[in-house]
Structure 1
Amino acid sequence: MCTYNGERFLSEQLASIQQQDYSNWVLYVSDDGSTDSTLEITKAFQARLGLEKVKLLSGPGCGFASNFMSLTCHQDASADFYAWSDQDDIWAADKLKAALTWLNKMPKDIPALYSSRTTLVDEAGNHTGLTSRFSGAFGFSNALVENVAAGNTMVFNHAARELLQSAGQQDNIVAHDWWAYMLVTGAGGRFFYDTTPHIFYRQHPLNSIGAAIGLKAALVRIHKLFQGRLSRWIDQNIANLDAIDYLLTETNREVLQRFKSARARNLPGRVIGIWRSGIYRQTFMGNVGLLVAAIFKGV
């Protein structure tokens, strides 16, 4: 778990972790310099459960993505499986058990990453909807242009953790969950998207990243697209992938190269090249948006 000034909802999230059906867990909390009562709440939780059950660390102070990657790469945190946790959600009692049911079926030497749909709740914990139910193919060609997996749902095996460590902390990644999706699929690992939600994803004004659903969110994405945000994010992702391309499969290195080459062309070569590169988004409208973005150099 990574925390930063999370006093408002932290106790409820800690309680939901304590009440998991699967109890053989250790919680590592990396605090990124909280100035409210976050540390006091966490230390009280640690006092109740013990120092072996709850461990406190100091984050790098560079934002949520760097905090998660720093914690993931921390040498003292070693286990068979790892789950990322936000400070303000609520885990269903079967959250860990559902993830481990799939992960335990995967070969231990192959990176495997689990994620799921989420139930959205407001500040008071009232249900407000569900995140998108993706049904398309998942893989590196999708991950290059779309992050389908929320980090607060992600659970992964030790092979995936070693892969993330091999890639380094990459302090300038866009988001830790997008990076994990790209890296695991790019290296030939396994990815699973559970359409049954096992987490209550709290939406409030202080979310680092909220759930991108609904008409309003779609309009915001379109606006940001024309401001070049997606293109800048992809630039960052490609720079990070170039630094560790030796970890990718040969096929995915070729996909990355075709995508990079297409992005550098002028119309109509850019549009044709991106189409032929094999990259895609999960929905028809998403792919239409990708085409539009290619036309206007927004991807």
Structure 2
Amino acid sequence: MQTQPDHNTPALPDQDLPQTVVILLATYRGEDYIDTQLDSIAAQSHPHWRLIVSDDSPDDLTREKVRHFSAGRPAGQVQLIDGPRKGATQNFLHLLQQAPEGQMLAFCDQDDRWLPEKLAHAVKALSSHPGPAHYAARTIVADENLNPITETRHFRRPLTFRNALVQACMAGNTSVFNAPAASILKQGTGSARDAGVISHDWWAYQLTSGAGATMIHDATPALLYRQHPQSEMGRNDTAGAMARRVGMLFAGDYGDWLAANTRALLDSQHLLTSENAATLQGFADALRQRGPGSAASLWRLGLYRQTKIGTAALFAAAGFGRLLRNQP
């Protein structure tokens, strides 16, 4: 039976509560899984949230399901907008541009299931930081039917700009940004869109860490991370997956990703700390060098990945000239 709107429920106030989280959900042909995700948002123990859904779907039931969900919520709590239809990353960047000023922001994938305390844990972790702060968490990898498989890795090495330049570690589907960090992202979004960055969460890690934000990685899982044939990004916790990702350092596409990220960051370097802006310039220079000179420059900058094998593979790829593709 279709749920009717509760007209006795008061509309949201014009001025949101200070710890309201604005959830940014990018959708594309999500009709098979979107109901589960929406229900898990509604079940959050932290009740102060708004949801903006940017939909790229051409012809399925995604929008209808979002509208049905919205009808059962307070007026104005759920907003549905048209996506740019240029892929998932551009859709998330579009959402950032549409997001209100002065609010916490959270990225959201269409096919996960949030655990009830997800937002509460993020808000609590971020609330003690008056400056910019970026929260992310581990996830529980699950199969297509959301049967748990394993937990993702908890990173041990520091989450810094020198790591972010060469590795994505702050998972987008768990990321929450306090208002100062969200403001930084909004200021840099135009540059990211123009540069064609490949991964919105990698770019967000780079920009927030580069701007001096506090990085918080919660060891407590925040959601069930559904694996299915249409997943935008697959799991990276198995030995095979980690080996493939190390191997990707030698693939030409990795150089293209670095180039796009670097273009976006160079165009937003006024948002970075002076130290990180200098590191970025050194990184851009290193990417233009060939062979061992490139690897030596990256080493002098102190760049690293989260494992020794990954860091060694990075320097080896630079030494073999595999990071030279379309550099800025």
TM-score tier, shorter chain, comes to over 0.9
Three-state SS of the structure 1 residue aligned to 2:79 is strand
**Cα distance in structure 1, aligned partners of 2:174 and 2:222:** 8
Q: Is 2:58 the partner of 1:30?
A: no
| Structure 2: tracts of 5 or more residues without a match | 1-24, 324-328
Q: CA deviation at 1:36?
A: 1.2
Three-state SS of the structure 2 residue aligned to 1:221 is helix
Q: Which residue of the other structure, out of 108, 130, 133, is the alignment partner of 1:85? A: 108
Please say which of residues 125-134 and 145-154 is displaced more in the overlay: 125-134
**Cα distance in structure 1, aligned partners of 2:76 and 2:273:** 39
Alignment of 1:88-107 (within 5 A): 88-107=111-130
TM-score for the superposition, normalised by structure 2: 0.86
Paired AA for residue 149 in structure 2: T
Name the structure 2 match of 1:217: 241
CA contact (8 A) 2:103 2:182 kept: no
Alignment of 1:219-258 (within 5 A): 219-258=243-282
**Cα distance in structure 2, aligned partners of 1:188 and 1:52:** 34
Q: CA deviation at 1:213?
A: 2.3
Q: CA deviation at 1:86?
A: 0.5
CA contact (8 A) 1:2 1:87 kept: yes
Paired AA for residue 93 in structure 1: P
Q: CA deviation at 1:223?
A: 4.2
Q: Which residue of the other structure, out of 8, 28, 31, is the alignment partner of 1:7? A: 31
Q: Structure 1's 34 and 120: CA in aligned 2 closer, same or farther, altered over 3 A? A: farther
**Cα distance in structure 2, aligned partners of 1:160 and 1:34:** 33
Paired AA for residue 152 in structure 1: N
Three-state SS of the structure 1 residue aligned to 2:215 is strand
| Structure 1: tracts of 5 or more residues without a match | none
TM-score for the superposition, normalised by structure 1: 0.95
**Cα distance in structure 2, aligned partners of 1:20 and 1:119:** 17
Name the structure 1 match of 2:13: none
**Cα distance in structure 1, aligned partners of 2:165 and 2:182:** 20
Q: Structure 1's 266 and 79: CA in aligned 2 closer, same or farther, altered over 3 A? A: closer
Q: CA deviation at 1:78?
A: 4.3
**Cα distance in structure 2, aligned partners of 1:140 and 1:165:** 19
Paired AA for residue 169 in structure 2: V
Alignment of 1:45-194 (within 5 A): 45-74=69-98, 77-78=100-101, 80-107=103-130, 110-169=131-190, 170-171=192-193, 172-194=196-218
CA contact (8 A) 1:33 1:58 kept: no
Q: Is 2:224 the partner of 1:203?
A: no
Three-state SS of the structure 1 residue aligned to 2:236 is coil
Paired AA for residue 52 in structure 1: G
Please list every run of at least 4 consecutive aligned residues from structure 1 whose deviation after the TM superposition is greater than 4 angstroms.
none
CA contact (8 A) 1:119 1:200 kept: yes
Paired AA for residue 165 in structure 2: L
May I ask how many residue pairs the two structures share in their alignment? Answer: 296
Q: CA deviation at 1:229?
A: 1.8
